[in-house]
Amino acid sequence: MAQMTMVQAITDALRVELARDEKVLVFGEDVGVNGGVFRATDGLQKEFGEHRVFDTPLAESGIGGLAVGLSINGFRPVAEIQFFGFVFETFDAIASQAARMRYRSGGRYHSPITFRSPFGGGVKTPELHADSLEGLFLQTPGVKVVIPSNPYDAKGLLISSIRDNDPVIFLEHMKLYRSFRQEVPEGEYTIPLGKANVVREGTDVTIVTYGAMVHTSLKAAEEIEKMRGAKVEVIDLRTINPLDMDTVIESVKKTNRAIVVQEAQKSAGVAAEVMAQINERAILHLEAPVLRVTAPDTVYPFAQAEDIWLPDVQRVVDKLVQVLDF
How far CA 111 is from CA of 45, 92, 95, 301, 321, in Å, comes to 24, 14, 12, 34, 45
Nearest distance, CB of residue 231 and other proteins, angstroms = 27
- Which among 129, 173, 215, 285 is annotated as catalytic? 129
For 231-282, the DSSP string reads: PEEEEE-SEEES--HHHHHHHHHHHS-EEEEEEEESTTSHHHHHHHHHHHHH
Q: What is the DSSP string of 75-123?
A: -EEEEEPSSGGGHHHHHIIIIIIGGGHHHHTTTS-----EEEEEE-SSS
x/- letters, 271..300, toward other proteins (CB under 8 A):
-------------------------xxxx-
Which residues on adjacent β-strands are paired with residue 77? 25
Does 47 bind other proteins (CB under 8 A)? Our answer is no
Task: Please report whether residue 322 would count as binding other proteins according to CB under 8 A.
Answer: no
Q: Positive or negative CA dihedral for 43, 188, 146, 48?
A: positive
Contact with other proteins (CB under 8 A) among 124, 228, 276, 280: 124
Minimal distance, residue 186 CB to other proteins, in Å: 27
Site for other proteins in 189-218 (CB under 8 A): none
Give SS3 for 201: coil
- Told to check if 19 binds other proteins by CB under 8 A, we report no
Are 179 and 38 contacting, i.e. CB atoms less than 8 angstroms apart?
A: no
69-98: which residues touch other proteins (CB under 8 A)?
85-86, 88-89
Q: Does 227 bind other proteins (CB under 8 A)?
A: no
Verify whether residue 129 is a known catalytic residue.
yes
What single-letter amino acid sits at 20?
R
Based on CB atoms, which residue is closest to other proteins, 60 or 236? 60
* 268 is a site residue for other proteins (CB under 8 A): no
Distance of closest approach, residue 124 Cβ to other proteins, in angstroms: 6
- Active site members: 129
Instruction: Write out the residues near other proteins by the rule CB under 8 A.
Output: 29-30, 32-35, 37, 55, 57-62, 85-86, 88-89, 124-129, 266-267, 296-299, 301-306, 308-309
